[in-house]
Amino acid sequence: MSSKLTNEPSIATKIRTMRQRVRWQHPQIMQRNIDQTRLSIEGGDGIEEFSFLVLGDSGTSRHRRSNPQRQVAEQLLAHLNLTQFTIHTGDVVYLVGSKEQYPSNFIRPYREWIVGGENYKRIPYNDMTFKHPILPVPGNHDYYDLPTIVGLISGLTGPIRYALQSVLDFDIGWHGSHKGDAYARAFLDYLKALPEAQLAQHLDRHYTSQIDGKRCLTYRPGEFTRLPNRYYTFRYGGIDFFALDSNSFAQPLALDATEAGAKSRKDLEQQLQQLEATKADLTRKASLGSLNPLPEDEVAEEIAGEIESINEQLADIDKQLAARGDSEVDVDQLNWLRDGLIASWQNPDVRGRIVFFHHPPYVTEASKWPQGQTLAVRHNLRQVLDAVLDQVGDIAQGQPLVNLVLNGHAHCLEHLQTGDTGHGDANISWVICGGSGYSLRRQRQKGPNLEETIGGKTRTVATSHLFLGRDGKGDSLKRPYSGLRIDVRGGTPVALDVTPLVAEKYDGTWQGYAMEPFTV
């Protein structure tokens, strides 16, 4: 399916609709002095050592006979009782975050995480309670919608696509996300659905925790497991976690009105034509094999993955060409992150900081590293961290401002380290966990060093130390899908041991294993 056949709401629409769903700053919320971006998870006080799991870009049921998402889930299950919660880095449900696909693409594969999961077919997507916390952020696919005619065609052809298991099954149904509404109903405290007369009672029952002088939502595993907002923060074991919605600050920056900008525009237009031609050729190959009843056909899967990658690149180029000087940015969220990090550094009870969101600012996966969205997120995050550094540099004394950043979006597992970037994002560990079920991608051919050219001088700003993605071809094709276990050590400064948990498919056979941990 062409990326042009999906709709993505504007940043202003995302912000406005999500605020409506949580009744942002409703008078009764303000009266109770409630912080709608703060979460309190029961069990997180008075400890230092704890563990958590990570997964991302997982929400697919496309590979129905051999579901990679479930293969990864089974690797994580061995650690479920040894960990306190699971972070999801976004793209919870593909392809367009639709409510009718939550049962197959989320509830079924993670049934052991959910109360009553043994009867997963009876659990409504908007009434899930987690006995093991799942703490997500929205990915780009969680906001996507389908034009009416595309949804109609998709719905009518669904049974045929299911029966044939062809490469043309793009994991969609009749509907889209309704501007992120399905995600909000699945995970957020959807106050909009409450009658006005019941709001006060609900707030008094569930917003019972007190942190930094304000009330906030209490997360009770097995009882009430809702999130307060699309972005939020929580403290666990002395670590401040910041969960962001990067969809509202990933708009590509406008091309400048110089000769260099004009050349960039021309280069992008040429790339657009080349990608369209390549996609047309791949689509012809896919259609020739679309009646192949073997869903595990390696060639067909490779073609489907390449088409999907091209669609994402086309969408990004379209955004770059359309970008103007007044490109939208979620200033309120970025200021919230800035203020939260400053307060975190000024709090002697906090010994570390972890940030997680969907779009990675640093990545060597082939389809993501040159994208306008990647550079936009890097630019916006740097502005935040530069402002934090100005305020807490004396306290940090050369330490990284953030101990770890977790991302998804790139369909791989990758560990990168920034060096001296000249900004507040220097010397930070970045781990991408986006290979937990959907099609895997390859690493770029340019290698592990990411470079920037500033003032005519080129320097390395980040280096990739581990990349796990699609590798090899034909008989040697390997597909290592993955999640993570992260162990937080006691003491200050904090150290984190990161263990990749891998479900690898090679030569038609699945093998599960844990890689050697690395420390950040």
Per residue in 429-476, pLDDT tens?
Answer: 999 999 999 889 999 999 899 999 877 889 999 999 999 999 988 778
Per-residue pLDDT, 154: 45
| 497-506: average pLDDT | 96
| 337-365: average pLDDT | 97
Q: In what order do the strands lie in the sheet with 429-433?
A: 209-211, 214-219, 34-41, 232-236, 239-243, 352-356, 404-407, 429-433, 413-418, 457-468, 449-454
Q: How far apart are CA 446 and CA 444, in angstroms?
A: 6
Q: What percent of the chain has pLDDT over 70?
A: 87
pLDDT(101) > 50:
yes
Cβ atoms of 225 and 233 within 8 Å: the answer is: no
Q: Please, what is the average pLDDT of the chain?
A: 88
Per-residue pLDDT, 60: 83
pLDDT(146) > 70:
yes
> Per-residue confidence at 254, pLDDT binned at 50, 70, 90?
confident
Per-residue pLDDT, 479: 92
Q: How far apart are CA 84 and CA 133, in angstroms?
A: 7
pLDDT(162) > 70:
no
Helix (H) or strand (E) holding 336: helix 331-345
Say which amino acid occupies 449.
Answer: N
Domains parsed from the chain with CATH numbers: 3-253+323-519 (3.60.21.10)
Per-residue pLDDT, 416: 98
Per-residue pLDDT, 173: 66
Of 114 and 60, more confident: 114
Cβ atoms of 91 and 58 within 8 Å: the answer is: yes
Q: Torsions phi, psi of 223, nearest 5?
A: -125, -60
| 345-372: average pLDDT | 95
Per-residue pLDDT, 69: 94
Joined tokens for residue 77: 């299950």
Q: What percent of the chain has pLDDT over 90?
A: 70
> Per-residue confidence at 291, pLDDT binned at 50, 70, 90?
very low
SS3 209: strand
Per-residue pLDDT, 296: 45
Q: How many CB atoms lie within 10 A of CB 456?
A: 5
Q: How far apart are CA 319 and CA 374, in angstroms?
A: 12
| 63-81: average pLDDT | 88
Of 237 and 161, more confident: 237
Per-residue pLDDT, 63: 57
| 166-185: average pLDDT | 76
3-state helix, strand, coil in the chain (%, to 5): 40, 25, 40
Does the pTM surpass 0.85? The reply is: yes
Per-residue pLDDT, 219: 98
> Per-residue confidence at 282, pLDDT binned at 50, 70, 90?
confident
